[in-house]
Amino acid sequence: MNRQEFPILGREVHGHPLVYLDNAATTQKPRSVVEAMTEEYYNVNANVHRGVHFLSQKATDLHEAARESVRRFINARSTSEIVFTRGTTESINLVAATFGQECMRAGDEVILTEMEHHSNIVPWQLLQARKPISIRVCPITDAGTLDIEALEQLISPKTRIISVAHVSNVLGTVNPVEDVIRMAHAHGVPVLIDAAQSAPHMPLGVQALDADFVAFSGHKMYGPTGIGVLYGKEEWLERIPPYMGGGEMIGKVTFEKTTFNSLPYKFEAGTPDYVATTGLARAIDFIESIGWADIQRHERELTQYALEQLQSIPDIQIYGHKAETGDPVISFNVGNIHHLDLGTLLDQLGIAVRTGHHCAEPLMRRLGVEGTVRASFALYNNKEEIDALVAGIRRVSAMF
């Protein structure tokens, strides 16, 4: 692909060409996304919905066209099932708060896994602080995969929902969510899928997947920050209450009673980031213009190459990743070098990686480490950047 679509990739950092390998945290944005948002701000900016004037109607058209783009992208049945949020975190909080309020009672259980991001742990703990529910945790194997047999044993008559990451943001593990959903539905239990790390790398196909809820973020898939999606089956979205109150989500308001708007607006209180939804739509266009087959082929080859090259470094420990099934995320440590020191020194060479616990502290404890260095790849990365990473690690290692 044409890297010139991403101007930031041409800059230097500390006198070195930028090697950006922090894509699991956020991806860079193509010109088409930024230019579409600039065009809307300069020429179409007006608050969406209810406005009768020209600009409001044009802005509304763009906003709702973006909702249709998302519906098509994940193959949802209806745009009524597409709720715009600020990102995966807000989407999961929305489900935990509203599903927890409506569908969970004292003693009920939610099942999570050891590899969850904090965004899929803390919202359930906040619910637990308000209502005496139990959080049960499915373990992972030493290979970094989900223990599917243990998960099945955790399901009980008290289980009300299972919430699981599609892809681990640390291990690169792609969880067998189809099996999880099938198993859960056999017990009448709905499933929430955290797709923050999978949406940029693989088709979701929510109808075939049969997930009840799916959450993902725009900024991890070449779109703008501050915009995300909650997909929910219509029957669940109809059943759970609104998450926030205010404008747009109402039907009629009196001081005695308020009725609520139809789906999906029932969950979209206040002015939405309608310019960001346009940016998200352009990011989807960008992904679709390349095609999943080419994206996955490139990322798989790049990840395989990276694993081969990294494994040649003395004293490197790579956590959990399997090249043939893993996502383009590789976490590692090298000898006795602290992950923060390694990341800081790589930065001086222009190489951007992520260090720390990656918002997955329970998983770090399971791995027996404080943190790791994480390199994560996107469709604009290449083998030369992998070579730069490996050379940088070798250079830093020689200092210790």
User: Domain for residue 135, yes or no?
Assistant: yes
Q: Which of 36, 61, 77, 80 is nearest to 218 (CA)?
A: 36
Tokens representing 30?
């193509």
Per the CB < 8 A criterion, the answer to whether 230 and 31 are in contact is no
The Cα-based distances of 9 to 4, 13, 201 in angstroms read 8, 10, 20
Tokens representing 11?
């800059």
> Residue 124: which CATH number?
3.40.640.10
Instruction: Check whether the bond before 264 is cis (ω within 30° of 0).
Output: yes
Q: What is the DSSP string of 288-317?
A: HHH-HHHHHHHHHHHHHHHHHHHTTSTTEE
Total count of domains within the chain:
2
User: Could you confirm whether 359 is annotated as catalytic?
Assistant: yes
Residues 134 and 65 in one domain: yes
Q: Does residue 55 sit in helix, strand or coil?
A: helix
Residues 154 and 274 in one domain: yes
Residues 45 and 139 in one domain: yes
Per the CB < 8 A criterion, the answer to whether 283 and 222 are in contact is yes
User: Domain for residue 4, yes or no?
Assistant: no
Q: Return the bridge partners of 356, or none.
A: 372
Q: Which helix (H) or strand (E) holds 224?
A: none
User: Domain for residue 12, yes or no?
Assistant: no
Among 288, 316, 335, the domain boundary falls at 288
Among 288, 313, 330, the domain boundary falls at 288
User: Domain for residue 27, yes or no?
Assistant: no
CA 321 to chain centre: 19
Per the CB < 8 A criterion, the answer to whether 290 and 379 are in contact is yes
Residues 232 and 371 in one domain: no
User: Domain for residue 122, yes or no?
Assistant: yes
CA 290 to chain centre: 20
Per the CB < 8 A criterion, the answer to whether 224 and 29 are in contact is yes
Residues 263 and 349 in one domain: no
> Residue 298: which CATH number?
3.90.1150.10
Tokens representing 175?
């969880």
User: Domain for residue 28, yes or no?
Assistant: no
CA distance 326 to 14: 32
> Dihedral, CA atoms, 174, 178, 182, 187, nearest 10 degrees?
40
Per the CB < 8 A criterion, the answer to whether 351 and 341 are in contact is no
User: What is Dmax (Cα atoms) for the chain?
Assistant: 72
Quote the domain boundaries for residue 320: 291-397
Per the CB < 8 A criterion, the answer to whether 201 and 351 are in contact is no
Residue 197 φ then ψ, to 5°: -95, -10
Q: Give the pLDDT confidence score for residue 2 in this predicted structure.
A: 83
Q: Give the pLDDT confidence score for residue 322 in this predicted structure.
A: 65
Of the residues 359, 361, 362, 382, only one is catalytic, namely 359
User: Domain for residue 91, yes or no?
Assistant: yes
User: Domain for residue 14, yes or no?
Assistant: no
pLDDT along the chain (400 residues), means of 10: 92 97 98 98 96 96 98 98 98 98 97 98 98 97 94 97 97 96 98 98 97 98 98 98 94 94 96 97 98 96 96 95 76 97 98 98 97 98 98 96
Residues 52 and 69 in one domain: yes
Q: Full-prediction pTM beyond 0.85?
A: yes
Residues 318 and 361 in one domain: yes
Residues 328 and 283 in one domain: no
Tokens representing 337?
């070098």
